[in-house]
Amino acid sequence: MQLPNYAYFEGQFVPYSEAKVGVMTHAFNYGTAAFGGIRGYWNNEHEQLYIFRPVDHFQRLLHSARMLCMEFDITAESLTQICLELVRMEGYRRDIYIRPIVYKADEIIGVKLHDLEDKLTMFSVPFDRYVANDTNAHVTFSSWRRVDDNMIPARGKISGAYVNSALIKTDAVRAGFDEALVLNQDGHLSEGSAMNVFMIRDGKLITPPTTDNILEGITRRSILELAKEELGLEIIERPIDRTEVFICEELFMTGTAAQVTAVTRVDFRAVGNGQMGQVTTKLRQLFNEVVRGNLPRYQHWNTAVYIQETISGV
59 binds ligand PMP (CB under 6 A): no
215 binds ligand PMP (CB under 6 A): yes
Q: List residues bridging with 145 in a β-sheet.
A: 183
Q: Which stretch binds ligand PMP (CB under 6 A): 65-73, 127-135, 194-202, 262-270?
A: 194-202
| 282 has catalytic annotation | no
Taking the complex as a whole, how short is the minimal distance between the CB of residue 37 and ligand PMP, in angstroms?
A: 5
212 binds ligand PMP (CB under 6 A): no
Long-range contacts (CB closer than 8 Å, 24 or more residues apart) made by 242-248: 242/141, 242/183, 242/187, 242/188, 242/189, 244/189, 244/199, 244/201, 245/181, 245/189, 245/199, 245/271, 247/201, 248/199, 248/200, 248/201, 248/206, 248/272
Measured from the CB atom, the residue of 216 and 230 that comes closer to ligand PMP is 216
32 binds ligand PMP (CB under 6 A): no
Catalytic residue among 157, 169, 228, 282: 157
256 binds ligand PMP (CB under 6 A): yes
Taking the complex as a whole, how short is the minimal distance between the CB of residue 261 and ligand PMP, in angstroms?
A: 11
The contact pattern for ligand PMP, residues 216-255, with x = CB under 6 A and - = no contact, is: -xxxx---------------------------------xx
Measured from the CB atom, the residue of 38 and 276 that comes closer to ligand PMP is 38
Taking the complex as a whole, how short is the minimal distance between the CB of residue 15 and ligand PMP, in angstroms?
A: 27
Give the start-end residues of each E strand in the chain: 6-9, 12-15, 33-35, 38-43, 48-52, 96-104, 118-126, 137-145, 179-183, 189-191, 196-201, 204-207, 235-237, 250-255, 259-266, 269-270, 302-304
Scan residues 149-178 and list those touching ligand PMP (CB under 6 A): 165
Measured from the CB atom, the residue of 220 and 265 that comes closer to ligand PMP is 220
Measured from the CB atom, the residue of 224 and 279 that comes closer to ligand PMP is 224
Rounded to 5°, angle at Cα 254 from 251 and 258: 115
DSSP state, 114? S
Taking the complex as a whole, how short is the minimal distance between the CB of residue 187 and ligand PMP, in angstroms?
A: 19
259 binds ligand PMP (CB under 6 A): no
> Of 59, 196, 207, 261, which one interacts with ligand PMP (CB under 6 A)?
196
d(Cα 237, Cα 197) in Å, to the nearest integer?
A: 11
Q: 3-state DSSP: the chain helix, strand, coil percent, rounded to 5?
A: 30, 30, 40
191 binds ligand PMP (CB under 6 A): yes
d(Cα 255, Cα 55) in Å, to the nearest integer?
A: 16
Nearest alpha-carbon partner for 54 in 23, 29, 76, 31: 76
Measured from the CB atom, the residue of 116 and 179 that comes closer to ligand PMP is 179
Q: Which residues are catalytic?
A: 157
Q: Which residues bind ligand PMP (CB under 6 A)?
A: 37, 165, 191, 194-196, 215, 217-220, 254-256
